[in-house]
Structure 1
Amino acid sequence: MTPPVIACCSTSSSKGSGRPVVRPARLVAALAFCVIAAGCLPELPGPKNPELVKPPPPPTDIRKTPHTFALGLITNRRVRTLSLEVFNTGRIRTRGEVVSALKSYHAKVRLDIPVFLVRHPEQGILLFGTGLSPDRARWEQHAWDPLLPKSFVYGQKKGSDIVAQLAAAGISSATVRWVILPFLSPETAGMVDAFPEAAVAVSEREWEWARSRQKPGVEQPLSPEVLEGDIRLKLQDISNAPGFGPFENGLDLFADGSVYLVGLPGRTPGNMGLWLNLDNGPVLLTGGAAYVIDNYLDLALPIKERIGDLEEFWRSLHIIQSAQRDVPQLIVFPGNDLTPLKLFKRADIRKISAR
């Protein structure tokens, strides 16, 4: 007996022939459904994903945090008050395994694209990152990216860009005095030229690395070649700054013990983190050193494609872990995960919701 055939799309008979005709539109819809449904299937045993990264040995030369470090954070701060406000300017859709080995390949995750606003009593408003631009040409994304399993797919609701959200909060972009870019990408530098009065801090190492990757004759919206004429660039060399806790270097940006630039390379060579000595305790913004909290809490690595230099990325995660261990009151915000906002409630940290 011939086994029955189960069709995945409906058919109709052509006039006079009696033969079934598959409608192309329905066939495409059925195939799309099958592809989407496949991502919802339970994970089955199979060969290990070759993109997963084997962790290197733990680094043995992480700088030892001085016993007086935590006390020094208080005594060395010479500002009246310092607070943090958190905005979310969009979402990144990807598969869980792409950003953390603890997550399933079949898990669909939505990452945050935050912008952090610091209110400094003397220096005014400082932004860490500028988030995603409403101009999709700056997303550096292709139409076929949603079909690729390892891609980042950006998304943004109307009015969610940082300029619109600041305006809704009564803050003009012209009043922003500093913009610190942890690394150069559409999610961190998408609107950097929207702040004409701001000094833009980028690490020298990051800037030169981005310049070396420019393709001759190809205009890239966020390349150093394009940005140089549009921003007040202040390149930062933190390599000669003194040690700061477990960090090899910590640059006291305003020389008042409130804001420190720290080197956390790995995702890119020049990624900078930002250490803030807020009113109720310290905060570390990791930038590209971590995607999600799994990365530094459990040392769960992303896939190869999402790591620039494995040894540096791994080392940076251990430095973050060491900082958390040595300063228990420290709150760490990874680059694309605002979960800490739900875990910790402090008066000096506020989330601002888009209207």
Structure 2
Amino acid sequence: MGYRVAVVGATGNVGREVLNILAERKFPASEVIALASSRSTGREISYGDKILKAKNLDDFDFKGVDFAIMSAGSDISKNWGPRIAASGCIVIDNSSFWRYDSNVPLIVPEVNGPSLEAWLANANRKNIIANPNCSTAQLVVALKPLHDFAKIKRVVVSTYQSVSGSGKEGVDELWNQTKGIFVNDTATPGKFPKQIAFNVIPHIDVFMEDGSTKEEWKVMAETKKILDPKIKVTCTAVRVPVFVGHSEAINLEFENPISADEARDILREAPGVAVVDKREAGGYTTPVECVGEYETFVSRIREDATIENGLNIWVVSDNLRKGAALNTIQIAETLIELGLKPRDAA
């Protein structure tokens, strides 16, 4: 007997990726329902070798649905999340709305998945689980095994984030500007504050009072919530002219000694991590090579001689997968592994 899964925001970039991964991983679903806004009702979407027609979220009854995977933005999550959860359906939310709620777990299964066992046992749970920011997800997957070994004191991360992180409009803008530049058209900014084609923009999300952007704050706050509140985190988030795949240059300071060789060996054994680290031309992973992959790739592992117990690493991941769609599905899989049964089997 399988699980009934509703994908909210199924016609968007992440929603489509959720459907792809559900099929790829042969998720034990008896039924998958594609949900969208009224303007997208009836639109056809691929799910494995099947074609689903999007249903109107406003009219849908979640009674008997086991999981609602939400990728429709914070406003939809704010308004619909509690209503869906109240029906008994478990909400796994991709937006930022629930991430900082102390009563909502923020989960990356390879890092803190076991904490869901206590959550499942809590009869008063909110029935909502938050998915982290795409940059945070790949960051903590790489940091967790190193933190367990040598205890991280401080993280300095610079992100190089693809335009798909800003949705379809961002992808279209990079594509149109790139084509336009070759025929001498003006690259007029729309989704982004400045030209994105052949450029980099040190600005993602809104600016805060201290000069940081909201994206940079998210990485800091979420890393602390998921991994360890004692870790000091600082971030510079940059949008780059790449379609899919986020990259991060990470400098780490540890309480205890750790060598580059030890870090390499630890990461090779870590869940969800692939190490590609040859000290030669091309001996590292770039965003183009991580597209369509499940793993978080780690390269350029080396010691930082400027600080005691310091390391530098390069981390790359498909942001539409591990940063969003894949992680939500892994959360559902973790709950099943912990003993969650389909509602119609209860």
Please give the range of the TM-score, normalised by the shorter of the 2 chains. under 0.3
Structure with the larger helix share: 2
User: Normalising to structure 2: TM-score of the pair?
Assistant: 0.25
Instruction: Name which one, 1 or 2, has greater alpha-carbon Rg.
Output: 1
User: Normalising to structure 1: TM-score of the pair?
Assistant: 0.24
